[in-house]
Amino acid sequence: MAIKIMPLGDSNTRGKDWDPAGYRDNLWNQLKSSGFDVDFVGSQKEGPSTIDRDHEGHGGWRIDEIANNVDSWLTSYQPDVIMLMIGTNDVLQDYQLSTAIDRLNNLIDKIVAKVPNAYLLVGSIPPIDRPLDQQQVLEYNAQIPGLVSSKASQGKKVKFVDIFKELTFSDLSSDDIHPTASGYAKIADVWYDALLPLPVLSNPSPSPSPSPSPTPNVIRLEAEAMQLTNYVIESNQSPASGSKIISLYQGGGTTGSATGTFNGPTGTYNVVVGYFDETDGKSQLTVKVGGVTDTWTFDKWLTDSWVTSKTKATRTVAQGVTLQAGSTIQLSGVADGGEWARVDYIDFIPVSSSPSPSPTPAPTPT
């Protein structure tokens, strides 16, 4: 069954004369070329006939105007995912800007209440190349991550998506407000990266590039093969081993655990965890293996806020521990903000063939 996605917002969602689909045509083509079965939904239709033209982008509309109509749209279309980018016209109309974030809060609450099982992606708004308006854009955007994080910490399926940081004034058209075609393409890329980790997008991508296999003498336990509590499996994550990882999707403050079994021969091993360290939080992970406990914070801030090749990280959690078939490995994670304590794998490297230990601080024995 197709995944129903509602693009929701103003003319930055609808598009302009030079690009009548805005970001939607690029995003549609990316999703389809990756093999996803998706259905854009909404009461509006703009764009070329080669894409799904449905959307809820309303030119000139403010946050409150979207909020006044959103219940009926959600009831009619029952989306699985909503991509919300709204607030530009509040700035342009200088409309009660001191309470703009309160109106966004109300809109988010209305959406979550109407479709609690849907995933809501909340985007920052693009820049405006006018000094006063741009300052107001900055002030409004700065409040969105905290608002979204507070919703996620309540268990709501809400995620912040930073559209603004990917755009510059050179990505704006001559009206200083709307993106150029290349600017819209950048927005599509950001939305695409935000959609990929969602569990609801479960269709396999065509021919994903396989991750390199560990060397033959390394025993790998994939995190998704462990017994999970609160953790969920994210598929189609091509930077990950086996294209799958586990994460605490419920967001900041969520805790979860994973338990697995070592199935290699009795021996002495160094234990290395593969994980993803992102820029939108400081989650924590505790690993217990071979009588050793190691806890650390994901605070490397490796460029991106999603699962990419740039956010891959490893940590040596135990050195020279004795393991035998049936030994238990336990993970305990705590999500923070938009960082979901994502774990990829655990490698067990026989000491006789291990590389030199990394400079990771020595873990504390239990």
Rounded to 10 deg, the angle between the 131-153 and 100-114 helix axes is 40
The pTM of the full predicted model, rounded to 2 decimals, is 0.61
The answer to whether 289 and 318 have CB atoms below 8 angstroms apart is yes
Q: What is the pLDDT of residues 36-92, one digit of tens each?
A: 899 999 999 999 888 999 999 999 999 999 999 999 999 999 999 999 999 999 999
**Residue-by-residue DSSP string for 87-129:** -HHHHHTT-SGGGHHHHHHHHHHHHHHHSTTSEEEEEPPPP-S
Q: H or E stretch including 82?
A: strand 81-85
- Domain boundaries along the sequence of the chain: 3-195, 219-365
Of residues 309 and 335, more confidence is placed in: 335
pLDDT value, residue 280:
78
Q: What is the pLDDT of residues 144-195, one digit of tens each?
A: 999 999 999 888 999 999 999 999 999 999 999 999 988 999 999 999 989 9
The C-alpha atoms of residue 122 and residue 95 are separated, in whole angstroms, by: 20
From residue 169, give the alpha-carbon distance in Å to each of 88, 131, 172: 15, 11, 5
> For 299-327, b where at least 16 C-beta lie within 10 A, e where not — what string?
eeebebbbbbeebbbebbbbbebebeeeb
Least confident range from 5-14, 195-204, 223-232: namely 195-204
- Give me the mean pLDDT over the 259-277 stretch: 92
CATH 3.90.1150.10 for domain 219-365, yes or no, is no
**Rg, Å, the chain Cα set:** 22
> Which residues, including other chains, have CB under 8 Å from residue 266's CB and lie 6 or more apart?
322, 323, 324, 325
**Cβ atoms within 10 Å, residue 358:** 11
Provide the pairing of β-strand 267-276 with 312-323. Answer: antiparallel
Among 224, 254, 248, residue whose Cα is nearest residue 236: 224
- Residue in this structure with the two tokens 């699985």, named with its chain if needed: 80
- Give me the mean pLDDT over the 236-248 stretch: 85
Q: What is the pLDDT of residues 274-319, one digit of tens each?
A: 999 888 788 999 999 999 999 999 887 666 677 777 788 888 899 8
- pLDDT-based confidence at 213, cuts 50/70/90? very low
Q: Which CATH number fits domain 3-195: 3.40.50.1110, 1.10.580.10, 2.70.70.10, 3.30.930.10?
A: 3.40.50.1110
